[in-house]
Amino acid sequence: MTRIFLRDLRLGVRAGGGFGLGLAFFLIVVVLVPFGIGPETARLGPVAPGILWIGALLACLLSLDRVFALDREDGALDLLATAPVPLEGVALAKAAAHWITTGLPLCLAAPALAVLLALPWPGHLWLAVSLLAGTPALSLIGAFGAALTVGLRRGGLLLSLLVLPLYVPTLIFGADVARRGAEGLSPLVPLALLGAVSLGCLAILPFATSAALRVNLR
Amino acid sequence: MPDLGRYALEVGFAYAATLILLLTLVGITIWRGRRVKRALQAAEGRRHG
Amino acid sequence: MSALEVRDLAVSRGGVPLLEGLSFRVAPGDALILTGHNGIGKTSLLRTLAGLQPPQAGRVAPGPDRIAFGAHSDGMKATLSVAENLEFWAGLHGLRGGIEGVLEEFDLAPLRDRAAQHLSAGQRRRLGLARMGLTGRPVWLLDEPTVSLDAASVGRFARAVERHLAGGGMAVLATHVDLGLAAPRLDLSTFRAAPEVARGDVFAEGAVE
Amino acid sequence: MSFSTSFWSLANPARFMSLTARAVPILSVLAGVCLVGGLVWGFFFTPDDYRQGSTVKIIYLHVPAALMAINGWLMMLVASLIWLVRRHHVSALAARAAAPVGVTMTLIALITGAVWGQPMWGTFWAWDPRLTSFLILFLFYLGYMALWAAIDDPDTAADLTSVLCLVGSVFAILSRYAVNFWNQGLHQGASLSLDREKNVADVFYHPLLLSMAGFILLFLALVLAGTRTEIRARRLHALRLRERMA
């Protein structure tokens, strides 16, 4: 399992691995927002937590179709399924690798980009914390969607349609942590709920993902 | 017609939209049912005939 | 090491029965070559033997944990080097011996640091085969292993399979090409399932109304 | 015993077809009678509410549609579980047939809710928790149907949509709570409850019951008819595959 995780990391950062694409996308979204809603700090500040969360969520979505599709194309998925590792472990390792290559950079970049959107000060910290707690859920849910659509030739659009509604609870709690943080309120309640969502995803989704993979390999 | 008062438009629209949606659903169900039934009869006919 | 035994196997793809009543035995040190026209179900049979899809009927022994599957596509990552690719699979299969032996055996030692995307078709095939060696599993299933190989590479491939057999291994190969292996052939077209056979799909059994 | 044997005998496609052949027209007629009766009664022969005016008449559409929108998903969940556990094909096809009916009900609930909201809240769309939950449910239905439509092999599609339905159900419930947390809401929760003692006067309650019965019967008739069509389509698929083989 650790080996699969490390291999995916290595593939991710090699040429053509798509590392940094999500981050660049996130940057562009954040830069475009003021053009859409105006440059005034008073207007940007209140919407910043939501915009940053939605940007991070879409950036996550961007790289999801690679999670299993590449291994499916070159036959590695068949070989992983016959290797002496549980398929649940494969699913978990791949979601983890997706999180490290996509989710974690977003968490680190978000406080810096929040400056561009005039997020009030303590919000930066809580934004990073909320992304740290929430992006694992995004990767796990995304891996599940990727497993459902891995057998389809043009599954990308369908993947978004399946995954985005599943992202609703994570987005609500995550953005609320950042918003309350920025407004100086205590964000602990939504943060606890966000953590619970991530842990719940960690507990059940690898099984659903491996079930979907097994059906698609048949 | 009952007097719907100042909300006549809203209530009328709700009823009209619902009826149109339901009738469309029923229509599609019947249409697709017939089409599939015919296609299946043709296929069974080819098989035995 | 026990022999590969297949008894009364029925194989289907997407609910359509392809093969049925298939029985054969491959003893340690032996190989079996599957023949039959395209679409007869060679790939589906190998995937069933490997445990990737459930058989419609019959049984396969030993279980999938003794069987190494080599498909058309070998699962090697283009941006990883030969050694990195092999080390990954060796680790996954818990092989402690390292990959040096396999690199020697398959003439890959000089290429160990080359990225898989810069290998020739023949070298690439040898890499895929070297992975089979790393699984430490006695039964090799090979699906069209010599596609896109020239005559010299085919010879080298055949020798690699022979070495595996000499060590008590077994191999089932689906191929059109004569590999020069001294192995019995099994023509799958004699086991072709009749299209009328409804096994595997309740909706094919009889009219629904 | 007899119920359980007769219920599971529906799992055989041919048996299902012969058992439901008569049921669909009967259910359709009953559904038509109840629907027309309930809606005509409600639309023409009930007084306006002293607070809501004539908009109270929307209740006869909104509440039954919302009820069937949720029950439709529940039915899909149960049918998916039966398919995953017992591998009865009819069950998977019934889940598939329920989706278009459920999505239409959700859409009706959304539209009538929005229209009702206009005079009540002064705006067509308010991000009220219940309305928002139905919007999310609508998206779940769309994803489920899109997955069915995208996969060629029917058994693979049945497996994957069932897994999606299971996971989706968990997330639908989670979304419901998350949405509640996110916005406390404008909905008068009480007026929509079925608890007649508290909220809904008898004059509104009886036609509402009749209309609900109509929606339930219509749902059953449409799902059964749809399942019959799916079974035929599935048989057609099997025949075509074999024609191609021969």
Lookup: tokens for C38 = 């395209």
Residue-range domains of chain C with CATH: 4-207 (3.40.50.300)
- Better-scored residue on pLDDT, C99 or D215: D215
For the sheet containing C16-26, what is the strand order? C16-26, C4-13, C57-61
> Stretch A178-203: mean pLDDT, rounded?
91
Any A CB within 8 A of C64 CB: yes
Indicate the pLDDT class of residue A74, thresholds 50, 70 and 90.
confident
**How large a percentage of chain A has pLDDT more than 70?**
98
Minimum distance, in Å, between the CA of residue D139 and any CA atom of chain A: 6
Q: What is the largest CA-CA distance in chain A?
A: 58
Q: What is the mean pLDDT of chain A?
A: 90
Where is average pLDDT lowest: A39-48, C97-106, D39-48? C97-106
Burial code (b: 16+ CB inside 10 Å, e: under 16) for A61-78 equals bbbbbbbbbbbbebbbbb
Distance of CA A200 to the CA centre of its chain: 15
Are C79 and A17 in contact (CB < 8 Å)? yes
* pLDDT of the residue at D90: 92
Please check the confidence at residue C46 and state whether its pLDDT lies above 60.
Answer: yes
Cα separation, D129 vs D142, in Å, equals 20
- Whether the pLDDT of residue A192 is over 80: the answer is yes
D22 touches chain C (CB under 8 A): no
Q: Mapping DSSP to helix (H, G, I), strand (E, B) and coil, where does residue C144 land?
A: coil
Residue D196 is predicted with a pLDDT of: 41
Using a CB–CB cutoff of 8 Å, tell me whether B17 touches chain D: yes
- Total structural domains within chain D: 1
State residue D192's pLDDT score: 45
The C-alpha atoms of residue D32 and residue D45 are separated, in whole angstroms, by 19
pLDDT in tens, D123-155: 778 888 888 899 999 999 999 999 999 998 898
Contact D30, D238 (CB under 8 A): no
d(C-alpha D64, C-alpha D209), whole Å: 9
Mean pLDDT within C102-108:
80
In a domain, D136, yes or no: yes
Range with lowest mean pLDDT among A41-55, A100-114, C6-20, D79-93: C6-20
Nearest to C14 by CA among C50, C43, C49: C43
Asked whether residue D177 is domain-assigned, the answer is yes
Pairing of strands C139-143, C170-174: parallel
**Residues of chain D positioned with their CB less than 8 A from the CB of B46:** 243
Q: What is the pLDDT of residues B1-49, one digit of tens each?
A: 566 677 788 888 899 999 999 999 999 999 999 999 999 999 888 877 6
CATH of the domain at D165: 1.20.120
Interface with C, mutate which of A7, A90, A215 (most C CBs under 10 A): A7
Give residue A92's pLDDT band: very low, low, confident or very high (50, 70, 90).
Answer: very high
Picking from D141, D73, D140, the residue whose alpha carbon sits closest to that of residue D103 is D141
According to the 3-state scheme, what is the secondary structure of C53-95?
CCCCEEEEECCHHHEEEECCCCCCCCCCEHHHHHHHHHHHCCC
Nearest alpha-carbon partner for C160 in C175, C146, C143: C146
pLDDT at C206 over 60: yes
Please determine, for residue A172, whether its predicted confidence score (pLDDT) is greater than 50: yes
CB contact under 8 A, C203 and D13: yes
How confident is the model at residue B1, as a pLDDT?
59
Query: Per-residue pLDDT tens for A107-161?
Result: 999 999 998 888 888 888 999 999 999 999 999 999 999 999 998 887 889 999 9
pLDDT reading at A195 higher than 90: yes
Quick check: D194 pLDDT over 60? Answer: no
Closest Cα in chain D, distance from residue C209 (Å): 6
| pLDDT at residue number C2 | 83
Domain spans of chain A? 2-217
Question: Percent of chain D scored above 90 by pLDDT?
Answer: 55
Least confident span in A75-84, A166-175, C99-108: C99-108
Question: Closest-CA residue in chain C for D88?
Answer: C202
Residue D33, domain member (yes or no)? yes
pLDDT at res. D9: 76
Handedness of CA C124, C125, C129, C131 (dihedral sign): positive
Q: Is the separation of the CB atoms in A59 and A106 below 8 Å?
A: yes
The shortest C-alpha distance from B30 to chain D (Å) reads 8
Of A134 and C100, more confident: A134
In whole angstroms, give the CA distance from residue C22 to residue C191: 6
| C206 in A contact zone (CB under 8 Å) | no
Greater model confidence, A36 or C193? A36
Q: Does residue D158 have a pLDDT over 90?
A: yes
Calpha distance D90→D11 (Å, rounded):
6
Q: Is the pLDDT of residue A198 over 70?
A: yes
**Tokens at D215, concatenated:** 């929606």
Residue D120, classed as helix, strand or coil, is helix
* Nearest Cα residue to D40 out of D211, D234, D217, D241: D211
Token pair in block for residue C42: 């060679």
Q: CA dihedral defined by A165, D226, A154, C55, rounded to 10 degrees?
A: 110
Q: Is there a domain that residue D10 lies in?
A: no
Cβ–Cβ contact C76 with A under 8 A: yes
Beta partners for residue C4, in sequence order? C26
Q: What is the nearest CA distance from C18 to chain D, expressed in angstroms?
A: 9
Mean pLDDT value across residues A172-191: 90
pTM to 2 decimals? 0.91
DSSP string, D154-206: HHHHHHHHHHHHHHHHHHHHHHHHHHHHH------HHHHSS-TTTS--HHHHH
Q: Which ranges of D48-88 does DSSP label H, i.e. alpha helix? A: 59-86
Give me the pLDDT at residue C145, please: 80
Does residue C62 have a cis peptide bond before it, meaning omega lies within 30 degrees of 0?
yes
Whether residues D108 and B18 touch (CB distance < 8 A) is answered with yes
Structure tokens at B9: 């438009």
Whether D135 is covered by a domain: the verdict is yes
Q: Is C34 helix (H, G, I), strand (E, B) or coil?
A: strand
Chain B residue numbers with beta carbons less than 8 Å from the beta carbon of D54 are: 2-5, 7-8, 11
Question: What is residue D199's predicted lDDT score, i.e. its pLDDT?
Answer: 53
Q: Residue C172: which H helix or E strand, with range?
A: strand C170-174
pLDDT of residue D206: 87
- Residues D82 and A130: their CA atoms lie apart, in Å, by 38
Q: In chain C, what residues touch A84 (CB-CB under 8 Å)?
A: 65, 92-94
Burial category of B48 from C-beta neighbours within 10 Å (exposed 0-12, middle 13-18, buried 19 and up): exposed
In a domain, residue D17? The reply is no
Quickly tell me which residue has 């791949």 as its tokens.
A94
Quote the ipTM score.
Answer: 0.91
Q: Are D211 and D39 in contact (CB under 8 A)?
A: yes
CA–CA separation, D64 and D72 (whole Å): 12
Quick check: D17 pLDDT over 80?
yes
Contact A142, A212 (CB under 8 A): no
**Does any CB of chain A come closer than 8 Å to the CB of residue D151?**
yes
Confidence of residue D190 (pLDDT cuts 50, 70, 90): very low
The yes-or-no verdict on residue C117 having pLDDT over 50 is yes
Instruction: Output the CA angle D47-D49-D52, nearest 5 degrees.
Output: 140
Q: What tokens were used for C120?
A: 């020739």
| Containing structural domain, residue D99 | 23-245
Residues D170 and A203: beta-carbon distance below 8 Å: no
Q: What is the DSSP string of D13-58?
A: HHHHHHHHTTHHHHHHHHHHHHHHHHHHHHHHHSPPBTTTBGGGGG
CA gap C83, C92 in Å, rounded: 14
Q: D195 or D81: whose pLDDT is higher?
A: D81
User: What is the rounded CA–CA span in Å between residue C31 and residue C51?
Assistant: 19
- Nearest Cα neighbor of D34 from D219, D223, D228, D227 is D219
Residue in chain C lying closest to A81 (CA):
C52
**Is residue A101 helix, strand or coil?**
helix
